[in-house]
């Protein structure tokens, strides 16, 4: 009876060893194609097709070289006659530090060089600690420094040389098949960068758009089908380990046809019409759009404040800065008419010698067709303004809702240019307001904003005066 039980136990152990199939490696070399869709918020969707050969039954597939910042809860595998039972993301990577930590409590070989003969000598050492430093037991001594090199008998199964996603699957049949692994990942981002060149008259510009990709995901994507989503996609924020930004290498793609654009849900999808390599720790640029002769206009703006309508301040300011803006309409009539992803617009202009000079930059939000693009490029050097309060009187009340104040202002704008300019004087008016008098007709821009267009001859000064009553 005991012999029969021993034979049965041995048979079950043998069958168990046969049934416990080894892990099936699915390397990056098995990749048939990869698609990468990158969103604005450090998020990307990877669609990775690989060819595998899977025996029938329960198997463990190890997808190597996936993104190190994969969100494993989003992983989805589709394959013929395959059912996913469980999955694990193995991100405990093989490093000297991690290998040493795995050997705490175990023995390693330490090889030292003899100071006189130069020969290597081997001693056994037990790893007692591998926290902020290393503590070794060598014979009957405790050492806190490695005085040689450590040799390990093997690498623990729990350490991986590459980020790996393992999946326990049930295969209904034997044979090769293609599977697609899709997942969301961090570490991939993009932004739009624009370069604009103004003409001599500042009324037209040439606009080039580039997409700048940054790959810090820890994986490479060879010959990827690249798509970009412009729009504010809502993403649930989760507590994750913060990762420092690393230096990335710059790779500028050669000029190519612009990306194609289409509407998708409430966003815009841009597709690159050719495969592109996205390397590890790489910053890459690809062409987005080209537009020549886009109509625009330059505007000078003197922006006021609302605080001096409620207090007696006399002189408000001398030599105040006048802002310089360039504005264009995103429509086909102006020479554009494309949905523009948000990004930075850098503006250049040729000097008298024909050399391009940088004149300013501004960030724009996602801009649909028919909307205005307005760029604040800086402050005018040759245009300044003096502003003072020439009259102030409290007519009635002092409590909120009952105070009535009349005040008068004089604004002098000086033009040191040799050509005339027009400056838009823009004032925010609080409460209920009424213009009692003015030297120039105003425009009511909103319930609490008014503006005047002040023409200033070359090398001269022009003045604007206005009197206003406000009720708080």
- Taking only the tens of pLDDT, the chain with its 472 residues reads 444 434 333 333 333 333 345 789 898 888 999 999 998 778 999 999 999 999 999 999 989 889 989 998 899 999 888 999 988 877 666 778 878 888 888 999 988 888 888 888 888 999 998 887 898 988 888 988 888 889 888 877 776 767 788 889 999 999 999 999 999 999 999 989 999 999 999 999 999 999 999 999 989 999 999 999 887 777 665 544 434 444 444 444 444 456 787 777 777 888 888 999 999 999 988 888 899 999 999 999 999 999 999 889 878 888 999 999 999 999 999 999 988 998 999 999 999 999 999 999 999 988 999 999 999 999 999 999 999 999 999 988 766 667 899 999 999 999 999 999 999 999 999 989 999 999 999 999 999 999 999 999 999 999 999 999 999 7
**DSSP of 42-93, one letter per residue?**
S-EEEEEEEEEEE-SEEEEEEEES--TTB-GGG-EEEETTEEEEEEEEE--B
276-321 tens-digit pLDDT = 999 999 998 888 889 999 999 999 999 999 999 988 987 888 899 9
pTM: 0.71
State the average pLDDT for the chain.
86
**Residue 200, Cα to own-chain centre: how many angstroms?**
34
Query: 443-446 and 449-456 as β-strands: parallel, antiparallel, unpaired?
Result: antiparallel
Are the beta carbons of 164 and 66 closer than 8 angstroms? yes
**Residue 204, Cα to own-chain centre: how many angstroms?**
30
Measured distance CA(282)–CA(263) in Å, rounded: 29
DSSP letter at 81 equals: T
Measured distance CA(32)–CA(277) in Å, rounded: 14
58-87 tens-digit pLDDT = 999 989 889 989 998 899 999 888 999 988
Q: Which residues pair with residue 196 across a beta bridge?
A: 207, 347
């Amino acid at each position: 009876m005991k012999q029969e039980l021993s034979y049965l136990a041995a048979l079950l152990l043998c069958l168990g060893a046969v049934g416990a199939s080894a892990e099936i490696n699915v390397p990056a070399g098995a990749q048939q194609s990869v698609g990468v869709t990158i969103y604005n918020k450090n998020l990307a969707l990877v669609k990775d097709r690989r060819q595998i050969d899977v025996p029938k039954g329960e198997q463990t597939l190890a997808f190597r070289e996936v993104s190190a910042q994969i969100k494993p809860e989003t992983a989805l595998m589709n394959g013929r006659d395959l059912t996913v039972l469980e999955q694990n993301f193995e991100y405990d990577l093989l490093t000297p530090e991690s290998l040493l930590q795995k050997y705490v409590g175990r023995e390693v070989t330490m090889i030292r060089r003899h100071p006189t003969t130069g020969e290597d000598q081997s001693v056994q050492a037990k790893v007692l600690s591998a926290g902020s430093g290393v503590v070794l037991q060598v014979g009957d001594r405790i050492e806190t420094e490695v005085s040689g090199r450590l040799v390990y008998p093997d690498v623990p199964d729990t350490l991986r040389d590459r980020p790996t996603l393992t999946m326990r699957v049930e295969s209904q049949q034997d044979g090769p098949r293609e599977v697609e692994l899709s997942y969301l990942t961090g570490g991939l981002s993009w932004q739009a960068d624009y370069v604009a060149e103004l003409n001599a008259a500042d009324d037209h510009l040439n606009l080039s758009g580039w997409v700048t990709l940054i790959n810090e995901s820890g994986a490479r994507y060879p010959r990827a089908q690249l798509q970009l989503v412009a729009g504010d996609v809502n993403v649930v924020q989760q507590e994750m380990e913060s990762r420092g930004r690393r230096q990335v290498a710059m790779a500028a793609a050669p000029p190519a046809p612009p990306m194609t654009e289409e509407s998708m849900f409430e966003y815009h999808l841009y597709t690159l019409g050719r495969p592109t390599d996205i390397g590890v720790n790489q910053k890459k640029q690809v062409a987005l759009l080209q537009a020549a002769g886009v109509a625009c206009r330059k505007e000078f703006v003197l922006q006021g404040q609302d605080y001096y309508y409620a207090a007696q301040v006399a002189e408000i300011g001398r030599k105040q800065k006048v802002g310089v803006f360039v504005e264009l309409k995103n429509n086909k009539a102006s020479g554009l008419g494309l949905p523009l992803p948000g990004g930075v617009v850098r503006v250049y202009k040729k000097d008298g010698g024909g050399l391009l000079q940088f004149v300013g930059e501004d960030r724009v939000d996602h801009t649909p067709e028919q909307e205005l693009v307005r760029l604040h490029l800086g402050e005018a050097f040759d245009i300044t303004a003096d502003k003072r309060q020439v009259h102030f009187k409290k007519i009635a009340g002092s409590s909120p809702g009952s105070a009535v104040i009349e005040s008068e202002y004089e604004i002098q704008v000086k033009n040191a240019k040799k050509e005339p300019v027009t400056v838009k004087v823009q004032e925010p008016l609080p409460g209920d307001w009424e213009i009692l008098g003015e030297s120039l007709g105003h425009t009511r821009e909103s319930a609490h904003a008014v503006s005047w267009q002040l023409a200033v001859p070359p090398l001269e000064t022009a003045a604007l005066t206005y009197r206003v009553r406000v009720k708080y």
